């Protein structure tokens, strides 16, 4: 059990303060303690030296004279009534007092709510008047907003115009010319020099050389590392006061618990830590001659006729061959404002179009996206 501390009480009759818990009667008016008192502690705790004589039981309440009596007394010290005729103690009185305060708080809350409702009704009327005034102000504000939009209108129109350019739009163009260009790559089979870690089929080694192929991680030595270590440990336990319990008889009992006390121990440790180095690994690299097909030239044809053709290649047998092919087909156009522009199109569309034709098509960002109609020129 914890130590016993003497408490205090205030007299509700005369208002006398800090009456020691050992006294049953007010030292100013002589009224015995009873209903309306509550024991409390002060900042300076006063421990009872011999707490073996202090009961841990609460005072009992005499229902006849309404005074509190020590638990060890079987009859009331004020009126002589038997303890058996009373069934309440100090804590019952506290509970009843709390219930009374709760009822008072409930009544006060109800009163405050009714007053708040009345204030709210008046506030609603004020708000209604303010809302009417605000509506008139917002009407003026809307007019001001429209004026600001008018200032931003050129910027908004520019954005709209740029978006409009990206959207495919229909155009009518006059075809005033066609052209084409075709290219064929010529490759030759010749001896080239290469190098690698192996010799491919057909390679003829000219020389070799030992070169770094990669690096291995190799243990070089060990290094002694010193580290400071520490750890916390429980060195003991101490009794700590965590609260106080009202005994209901003018005294309080400490509530204690055993809590661990920690300390820290330190020591030094050494260890061997490996240190690595990068060790180059050499392998034989082969330098060799080998025959490969490589680029030699482009043979290009172009013109404005309706019959594009590929260049005729005069290839040397076994040492020359045809490689890649590229082609592009252009139409030159003129719009109603006589502005000229050329477009690259597919061969299929190019063959359908003749010089002098009028095209209805869709254009987006300078590129023909769809040909809608082809009308023969007059």
The percentage of the chain sitting over the pLDDT mark of 70, rounded to a whole number, equals 95
- Whether residues 282 and 228 share a domain: the answer is yes
Of 280, 281, 278, 290, the residue nearest 198 (C-alpha): 290
Let me know whether 230 and 369 are in one domain: no
pLDDT value at position 145?
A: 65
Which residue has better confidence, 378 or 338? 338
Tally of domains in the chain: 2
Task: Give CA–CA dist 77/67, Å, rounded.
Answer: 9
pLDDT in tens, 50-67: 888 888 999 999 999 999
Residues 220, 314 within the same domain:
no
**Alpha-carbon distance 183 to 178, whole Å?**
18
Range with the largest mean pLDDT of 2-6, 155-159, 299-303? 299-303
Q: What is the mean pLDDT of residues 335-350?
A: 92
User: What is the helix (H) or strand (E) element at residue 123, kind and residue range?
Assistant: helix 90-166
Lowest mean pLDDT among 39-48, 180-189, 285-294: 39-48
What local confidence, expressed as pLDDT, does residue 33 receive? Answer: 93
With respect to residue 146, please indicate whether it lies within any of the assigned structural domains.
Answer: no
Could you tell me if 86 and 60 are in contact, meaning their C-beta atoms sit under 8 angstroms apart? yes
Instruction: Based on the fold, state whether residues 220 and 272 are members of the same structural domain.
Output: yes
> pLDDT tens, 90-142?
999 999 989 998 999 999 988 888 888 888 888 888 888 888 878 887 777 76
Residue 165 scores a pLDDT above 70: no
Predicted pLDDT of residue 201: 96
- pLDDT number for residue 135: 82
Same domain for 215 and 339: no
Query: Is position 87 within any domain?
Result: no
Q: Are residues 290 and 364 in the same domain?
A: no
Cβ distance 329 to 335 under 8 Å? Answer: no
Task: Answer yes or no: is 361 within a domain.
Answer: yes
Q: Does residue 215 lie within any of the structural domains?
A: yes
What mean pLDDT is reported for the chain?
91
Residue 332 and residue 272 in one domain: no
Position 154 scores a pLDDT of 78
193 and 327 inside one domain: no
Burial of 258 (0-12, 13-18, 19+ CB in 10 A): exposed
Q: Are residues 177 and 306 in the same domain?
A: yes
- Residue 284 shares a structural domain with residue 349: no
The answer to whether 251 and 70 are in contact (CB under 8 A) is: no
Residue 151's pLDDT band (cuts 50, 70, 90)? confident
The pLDDT value recorded for residue 164 is 65
**pLDDT at 214 (0 to 100):** 97
Tell whether 19 is covered by a domain: no
Question: How far apart, in Å, do the first and last CA atoms of the chain sit?
Answer: 120
Average pLDDT value for residue range 283-295? 97
Q: Please indicate, yes or no, whether residues 215 and 362 belong to a single structural domain of this protein.
A: no
For range 299-308, the mean pLDDT = 95
Long-range CB contacts for residues 40-44, cutoff 8 Å, separation at least 24: 40/7, 40/8, 40/9, 41/5, 41/7, 41/8, 41/244, 41/252, 42/8, 42/18
Q: Would 228 be classed as within a structural domain?
A: yes
Looking at residue 270, its pLDDT comes to: 95
Q: Domain of 267? A: 187-237+262-294
Q: What would the pLDDT profile of 182-220 be if each residue is shown by its tens digit? A: 999 999 999 999 999 999 999 999 999 999 999 999 999
Output the pLDDT for position 312: 95
Is 197 within a domain? yes
Do 361 and 344 have their domain in common? yes
> Is residue 336 domain-resident?
yes
∠ CA 158-160-162, rounded to 5°: 70
The answer to whether 201 touches 290, Cβ cutoff 8 Å, is: no
């Amino acid at each position: 059990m914890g130590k016993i501390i003497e408490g205090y009480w205030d007299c509700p009759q005369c208002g006398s303060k800090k009456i020691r818990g050992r006294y049953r009667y007010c030292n100013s008016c002589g009224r015995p303690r009873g209903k309306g008192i509550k024991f409390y502690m002060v900042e300076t705790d006063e421990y009872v030296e011999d707490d073996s004589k202090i009961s841990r039981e609460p005072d009992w309440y005499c229902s006849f004279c309404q005074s509190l009596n020590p638990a060890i007394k079987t009859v009331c010290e004020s009126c002589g009534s038997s303890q058996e005729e009373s069934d309440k103690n100090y804590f019952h009185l506290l509970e009843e007092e709390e219930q009374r305060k709760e009822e008072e708080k409930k009544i006060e809350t109800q009163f405050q709510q009714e007053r708040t409702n009345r204030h709210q009704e008046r506030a609603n009327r004020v708000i209604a008047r303010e809302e009417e005034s605000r509506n008139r102000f917002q009407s003026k504000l809307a007019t001001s907003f429209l004026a600001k939009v008018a200032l931003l209108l050129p910027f908004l129109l520019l954005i709209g115009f740029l978006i409009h350019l990206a959207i495919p739009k229909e155009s009518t163009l006059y075809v005033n010319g066609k052209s084409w260009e075709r290219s064929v790559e010529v490759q030759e089979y010749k001896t080239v020099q290469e190098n690698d870690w192996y010799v491919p089929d057909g390679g003829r080694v000219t020389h070799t050389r030992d070169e770094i192929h990669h690096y291995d991680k190799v243990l070089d030595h060990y290094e002694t590392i010193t580290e400071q270590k520490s750890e916390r440990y429980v060195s003991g336990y101490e009794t700590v006061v965590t609260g106080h319990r009202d005994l209901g008889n003018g005294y309080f009992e400490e509530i204690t618990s055993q809590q661990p006390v920690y300390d820290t121990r330190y020591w030094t440790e050494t260890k061997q830590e490996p240190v690595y180095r990068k060790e180059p690994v050499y392998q034989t690299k082969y330098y060799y001659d080998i025959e490969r097909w490589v680029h030699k030239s482009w043979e290009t044809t172009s013109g404005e006729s309706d019959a594009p053709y590929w260049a005729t290649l005069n290839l040397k047998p076994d040492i020359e061959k045809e490689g890649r092919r590229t082609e592009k087909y252009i139409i030159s156009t003129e719009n109603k404002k006589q502005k000229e522009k050329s477009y690259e199109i597919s061969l299929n569309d190019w063959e359908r179009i003749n010089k002098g034709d009028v095209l209805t098509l869709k254009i987006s960002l300078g590129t023909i996206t769809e040909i809608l109609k082809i009308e023969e020129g007059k």
